[in-house]
Each structure stands twice: as structure tokens, then as C-alpha cells.
Structure 1
Amino acid sequence: MKISRWYTLSLGIVYFFLLGPFLIIFAASFGAESTLSFPPRGFSLDWFANVFANEQFIRSFWTSLQLGLIATILSLIFGVPVAYALTHFDFPGAGFVETLFSLPILVPGLVIGLSMLNFFVLFGKFDVLTGLMIGHTAILFPYSVRVVSVALRNLDPAVEEAAVNLGANRLRTFLLIVLPNIRAGIAAAFILGFITSFNNVPV
């Protein structure tokens, strides 16, 4: 199939608007002046060295990294079984439960952050990191359920039925058949969850 010039031009414009600001900021970061300007005046790597010499930045970065990893893993530990139950078992109120799990996606992060702040201030039994971990896990949980549910619905039911007919129980089928076949969905949920947590400022 021949790609038209208009399609190529349109694609180039889209990439320019998406990547252009990032490239401009990246180029300006090599400037010698303390203010951001483009084109950069002079050349210096001091700003990169100063970033890694800033203890507050390093501490905040590692806290965000640990928080993102732990919250994402916890959201998957809870989210994968829930997604499996929603896609494999027909029970009353299943649609309502699935909609309920989507509410944190619809509610602004600032509202969730303020609500959890009031909760932790009221009870006062959690340290800051634990409170952040609970909040981020609650935010990432619906993303894990949604993404993994899509992967499970795309999995051929005949694969599971064949394993059960050959004598495997439900747990063994889930661990040896289902999980390996939805690893792409789990990986996508992990990446989406980690990025969401790492970029989340309100909570």
C-alpha cells in the first residue's frame, strides 16, 4: 500500500508537536546561563551535575521510584484476581462491581488526595510512606483491573478448557496457562501503573 504525501506530512506535524517541546527543552538544558533560553547561549553540563548533587532531589526521586514500584506491584497482586473473577464468573451485580472499580479513574486525583489526607489525619496511625502507598495503590488498582480484564477477554477460553479436561485444577490452570498467556497485558498494566504513580502529584 502506497502512503500518500499528505499522510506523511500530517504524521510529521503530529510528531513535531508531540516531541518538539521536549527536544527544545533538552537542547536548552545544555546552555551556560541559569535561565532557560532557546537557542542556548554557551555550553555547559553543570546543570546535570547539580541535579545529581541535590540531596533533596535524589531523596525525592528514590521515594517516588520505590513508591511507584511497590504500589504498582500491589495493585497487580489485587487487580489480577479481581479481573479474573469479573471475566470468568457470572454473579449478581458483576457489572456494578466493575463500574465501581472504575470510579477512581473518573474522580480527580486532587479529590482523592484531600480525602486520604483527611482520613490519615483523623486516624493518624500511618506514616507518610505507608499513607502514600495506600493512596497510590487505590489509584492504580482500577487501571490494573481494566487492562488485565481486556487481556483475559482476548484469551481463548478453549485453552483453559483443554487444561481442565486434561486434569489440571483451577489454580494450576490459572498459574500455568492463564498467567503466561496474559503476560503482555500484565506488563502493560505495570508500565501504565508505574508511570501514573510516578507522575502523580496530588496524592
Structure 2
Amino acid sequence: MFKTLLAIVGRDLTLALRRRTDVLTTLFFFVIVVSLFPLGVGTEKETLRQLGPGVVWVAALLASMLALERLFEGDYRDGTLEQMLLTPQPLAILALGKVFSHWLVTGLPLVLIAPLIGLQYHLPEQTLLVMMASLAVGTPILSLIGAIGAALTLGLRGGGILLSLLVLPLYIPVLVYGSGAVSVSMVEMADIGPYFSLLGAFLILALVFSPLASAAALRISVE
């Protein structure tokens, strides 16, 4: 099963490299959204520091949603998904591989570029590290939850709007605790441990249940 997982990840990464515009669209959207806020609210340091964590996390959430509709769509259209359903390997492992490759293409670049973007908001160095860590834990949760919605809306007309309505309410706890950890890190003697504990718990639950739910949804969508 581990070889199967690596094969799915390698295949999806190869396809992503052939469609670089899709990858760059997500990254540029994140950069543009985060960069526009300082232009709109002014250059006052305290205001930007208060807005920074929330703005970066909201932009990361929206950017990750841009590629969700394409998570299974290509395989569904060319018949690859039907072949995956016929393989002896568990479909949950295949879904997990696709989610992991989705995070490598969309989530990981956001994690790496977030500290540079955070400099626009005059965030301290420690806060930038916390922001990077919170995104590293939180963005995989967004991909795992989004995979369930992408599988449920696969093949539907206007599925992108329905997908947003399905996953956005589930994203709220991740957004609250992710941006909360960054905000609290700017307060002296504040403890960010509970925030990361909750994000870690969300990640474990998503890793356990999301592949199974996505696999069940894919079977329903294909049938």
C-alpha cells in the first residue's frame, strides 16, 4: 500500500508540473490577497499586526479552495478514477495519496512563502515562525476536509459553488485556532500550546476519517 501511495503522489506531481499555471494561480492568488490589505487599511504598524494573522489565514484558506475542484475532476473525466476503483488496493489509500499531492502543490508553497508575506504586516520574527508552523499543521487539514467535498460534488454542474458551501463551515475551527495561535504569539508570556494541540487533534481526526469518507463519496459519485 505504501508503494501505491508513492505511485499516486508521484503521478499527480508529474501532472502538476505539466500544468504549472494551475499551481502558480493558487500561489499568486495568495500573494495578491495578502498584499492588497496593507494598501487598503494603511501603513500603521499596530493595525497591520492585529490584522496580519487573520488576513494570512483567510487568504491561505481561499487559495487552497481554488484547486479543490480539480482534485478528482481530471481522473474522473479521463476514466482513471474508474480504473482506481477496480484496483485491489483500498480506495482510501489512493484518495490519501491524491490529497497529499494536492497539499504538496498548493499548501506547502503557502507555508514556505508565508513568512515573507508576513513581513508586510510588521510581525515579529517569533510570530512569523509560529505562523509558518500553524500553516504547516492547518493546511493539510484544509486539504483533507476539502477532499470530502470535492468527492461529493464530483461531476455535478455548478459543483464549485456547492463545494464551497460544504467545506467552508468545516474550515472555521481550523481558521479560528490557526489565526489565534499566531495572534497569541505576539502577547508576552502567552501559551500557544493549546492552539497547536487542537490543530494537531483536528489533523489526526482528518487523517483517520477523511480518506474513508472521500473513498465512499467517490464510489457514490462514479456510480
TM-score scaled by length of structure 1: 0.38
Identify, as 1 or 2, the structure richer in helix. Answer: 2
Structure having the higher Rg: 1
